[in-house]
Amino acid sequence: MSLERKDFLGLYDVSEKDIYKILDTAEAMKEIFTRTVKKVPTLRGKTIVNLFFEPSTRTKSSFDLAAKRLSADVMSISKKTSSVVKGESLLDTAKTMEVMGADVVVVRHSVPGAPRFLSKNIKASVLNAGDGAHAHPTQALLDLYTIRENKGKIKGLKVLIIGDIAHSRVAHSNIWGLRELGAEVRVAGPATLLPAGLEELGVKTYTNLDKALEDVDVINILRIQLERQSSGLFPSIREYRKFYGINDKRLAEDVLVMHPGPMNRGIEIESSVADGKQSVITEQVTNGVAIRMALLYLLAGREIDDEDLNQKR
């Protein structure tokens, strides 16, 4: 099984068939979590390099664990501990890792397009772990997986994304994936945080949150980027909480609650919601490992027999 592509840079060019292939592979990977020894030899002898030039807890740890559970060799490099601080370019860093035998380079970078640039200049597979405000495909895939796992389907569901849509790579990737799989996508937030042109993508936009919440099946709450508050994109934290914060009063009984993390409790989401019975926020973290295992397998293990997935140690 493979994706028949060298790199995985975003969901904007991934077919419905391939998205479901990733989700189904992740389901097989998640079964490994139930074993006494949570490890398979599928990528033994392969080398995964994690280049993270932005701070990350969930995504980086998830990729580290995913590679190790597939028995790959893992090298993790941050900006602070690399020669980038001495002036070395991203490309030279990646090429150095490649000549050391890297099979997959996982990259997170603040500059949109950095993973695509690398993919055109190194032979190793490149996997986008988030680039600027452009894309975060693995987060979107784990969100899709979590929705399907809890709702049984994605097609026909009404999914609302709340918050800073304009600057969110998570929102952009979720929109591409959800639309490809046939969901109705809504977004809600202050007008200053809703980019123009969303309607052209088939997305419904709202500045009135209560109206946006009508009849939705899933809400995905984005972190308010507090660093942008000083730029005047919304009046105050207090007003944002009042008009766009999710609390128990706004929550219908059958709505699935999601958040990519990290959360600003008491601002975009109340603790009673984040820790409530409708929340699948911790499930998203677990599913992130399964999704990243699936992608590493589909990229680095392209020539490996699928039977390896069933081997136990």
Distance CA 277, CA 272 (A): 9
In this prediction, residue 236 carries a pLDDT of: 85
- Alpha carbon 113 to its chain's center: 16
SS3 call for 52: strand
Q: Tens of pLDDT along 157-193?
A: 999 999 999 999 999 999 999 999 999 999 999 999 9
String of b and e for 185-205 (b: at least 16 CB within 10 Å)?
bbbbbbeebbeeebeeeebeb
HEC readout, 138-174: HHHHHHHHHHHHHHCCCCCCEEEEECCCCCCHHHHHH
Nearest partner of 145 among 239, 271, 19, 279, judged by Cα: 19
pTM for this one?
A: 0.92
Residue 150: C-alpha distances to residues 25, 144, 220, 221 (Å):
17, 10, 14, 17
Question: How large is the C-alpha radius of gyration of the chain?
Answer: 19
Low-confidence ranges of the chain (pLDDT < 50): 86, 304-306, 309, 311-313
pLDDT at 34: 93
Cβ pair 288, 64 in contact under 8 A = no
Are 185 and 204 contacting, i.e. CB atoms less than 8 angstroms apart? yes
Alpha carbon distances (Å) from 289 to 68, 167, 176, 179: 11, 25, 21, 24
The 8-class DSSP code of residue 57 comes to S
Contacts of 30 (CB under 8 A, 6+ apart): 286, 287, 290
pLDDT, tens digit (0-9, with 9 covering 90-100), for 77-117? 876 655 555 467 888 888 888 898 999 999 999 999 999 99
Q: What single DSSP character describes residue 216?
A: -
Token pair recorded at residue 194: 């809703």
CA distance 219 to 233: 22
- CA angle at residue 273 from 267 to 275, to 5 degrees? 110
Alpha helices in 10-54 (DSSP H): 16-32
Supply the pLDDT for residue 311.
46
Position 230 scores a pLDDT of 58
The Cα 218–Cα 181 span in angstroms is: 15
List, in sequence order, every residue forming a beta bridge with 125; answer none if it has no partner.
104
**Beta-ladder partners of 49:** 75, 105
What is the distance between the alpha carbons of residues 40 and 272, in angstroms, rounded to a whole number?
38
Report pLDDT for 179: 97
User: What is the rounded CA–CA span in Å between residue 202 and residue 242?
Assistant: 28
- Phi, psi dihedral angles at 276 (to 5 degrees): -80, 175
